[in-house]
Structure 1
């Protein structure tokens, strides 16, 4: 089976073939179409998305070349890789495992196991480190990155609350630390991390966590920690 990974970068692997080499804009097109599986797109729209800075004839030619490359690099075991209807095309990924699709499906569930699996798939932001000097594509990529990051934040929020409630201190520390890299001013998460450190007997780390929370609030928001956070600190 073929696997398309878009979280944390771009990678395509087919168990039955050598890994293909994609050009930057071909990778961008695969990612764009994969995240909108089942939706048709006009050739004009795709050409403008990735080659808008070129004239229309050149953009159309570049699009044809990219589509040809995708067909060769990602042969489909279930018919054609593209479904064409007049001037519109749809990328057929029925035989491809796409990490974004699996992440979103698991993130919508509620069991800790499913949520843990979702975060195992979230190795980084969408196409992390990737960019093009094409404003329409960059606008789309920014919105999609923020959308998927927001889902990952919700998953981590659910996990850290669950681990805190069942006194799984080691997992609470791991998840809270990851969440704070994205949401460093979340006092509720700082408190859960402080409590987990204290429960492990690592009071010194709990105290340092309070200092990080306090310093971040002062530096970025010119605020003091909430009363609940200060009271927890005094109890340590």
Structure 2
């Protein structure tokens, strides 16, 4: 049985034999990348020209095909040696299209991760069994997909799997927090921040969870970490709700509100808006009164309204 690991620094292939044949298989970089490509497209046979263009698109078609055939031969020689039947892991369609045999006995970390996570994230609610399965799945995520490969075909898949991993962690944070297990929730929250430290919503949730169990110092430390990262990376301050969560944790929220600069500016804006509305109401009242007088024929004056000014002139 092959054990293929794509999550992490590089493609790793281990032959899970009986001890005699067991051990890590040595693949040349191009052959390893080709295997990873076919594994990621395991449900979709790829035409040879498409595969060749993905790896050697800048070369003439004939040269790209030649290099693909060489890489395929080298890959097959390692994972399908003489004692392994042809087609056990690599399939060639009558049309020449290539694919990885997803019905083989190969154990692929990406496939196991996706199979466990995707159905659960598609459901609105999470059960205890779901949470346990998610925890096992995120444990498979040893790192982003093929971190040492920067080819275009890797980048999109890397970002997709990375987002899937973060969504799984976020679901675990929510479940453990609701279950009254803050330590587990905090652990998964920190795992999110390790990969995406700009997630202010996660910082805020962790501040709140520390406060809920009486860990004021940890809550304030988490707020300071959040404030520093946002300032250094984005040049912004935390959102008011994040600051409020920290003040609640510190027990100073009520006392701090009157002196809050943001609140003071908001009050000033609203006060000015109120004065302007009152002024406009006076103008409108005078205009209505004059229009009524004109309608009754009791004045020989013409009313002109311009902006917030009212002028009267004789006919």
**Same-fold call, TM > 0.5?**
yes
User: Which residue of 2 is the match for residue 135 of structure 1?
Assistant: none
Q: Which has the larger radius of gyration?
A: 2
Distance in 1 between residues matched to 2:73 and 2:171, nearest whole Å: 43
Deviation per CA, 1:125-178: give whole Å up to 9, x if none: 1101234xxxxxx22211111111111111011011112222212212211111
Query: For the residues of structure 1 that align with 2:31 and 2:168, how far apart are their CA atoms?
Result: 31
2:105 to 78, 87, 95: 95
Determine which of 112, 118, 125 is the counterpart of 2:144.
125
Tell me what 2:313 maps to.
none
Asked whether the equivalents of residues 38 and 98 of structure 2 are also in contact (C-alpha less than 8 Å), the reply is no
Which residue of the other structure, out of 105, 113, 116, is the alignment partner of 2:115?
Answer: 105
Q: Secondary structure at the match of 2:4?
A: strand
User: In structure 2, do the counterparts of structure 1 residues 38 and 85 end up closer, same or farther at CA, with 3 Å as the change threshold?
Assistant: farther
What residue is the counterpart of 1:22 in the other structure? 27
Report SS of the residue matched to 2:209: helix
Moved more, 218-227 or 25-34: 218-227
2:222 maps to 209
CA RMSD of aligned residues (A): 2.1
Higher RCO (C-alpha 8 Å, min separation 6)? 1
Give 5+ residue unaligned stretches, structure 2: 121-125, 250-315
User: Per-residue CA shift, 1:157-200, capped at 9, x if unaligned?
Assistant: 10111122222122122111111133323332112212333455
Gaps spanning 5+ residues in structure 1: where?
Answer: 132-137
The two structures have a TM-score, normalised by structure 2, of 0.67
Any conservation in 1 of the 2:204–2:245 contact (CA below 8 Å)?
A: yes
Q: Matched residue pairs, number?
A: 230
Q: Structure 1 length normalisation: TM-score?
A: 0.87
